[in-house]
Amino acid sequence: MSGLNFYTSIHCTSQAHCSTCRWQSDEGHKWRKNIAEHYKVLSIDWECPENKPWEKELKHKSKGLGDTVAKVIHKVSRGRIKPCGGCKKRQKKLNKLLPYGKIGKRGKIAKQQKQ
């Protein structure tokens, strides 16, 4: 554990990880445990300094790379860049090309294409 306080770090103050941090699941707990190994925190299941509630499900879960790119652009621009029609088309195309949660299928397809 380092001497850095997580609550004042860019990871917490940017609010980029709120949905993962507040997720009441094994994955959320593992994420908080990893943070506790690298930062000072009060406990593994700490209270949110922004008073965000615990979530039973992960909200706004990215379906693929397109959703992630859209979230990053929104966060970095602080919402000033609004997605146009072309942006939404690219987002859907990237989600289709690189979906999350389908590694087995994509790996199988990649193996078939090599043969």
pLDDT by residue (tens digit) across 20-78?
A: 888 888 888 888 999 999 999 988 888 898 888 888 766 667 788 898 898 888 888 88
Q: What pTM does this model have? A: 0.50
Annotated domain spans of the chain: 1-60, 62-101
Q: Which of 25, 22, 32 is nearest to 55 (CA)?
A: 22
- CB proximity list for 43: less than 8 A, separation 6 or greater: 36
pLDDT digit string, tens, across residues 79-90: 888 889 999 999
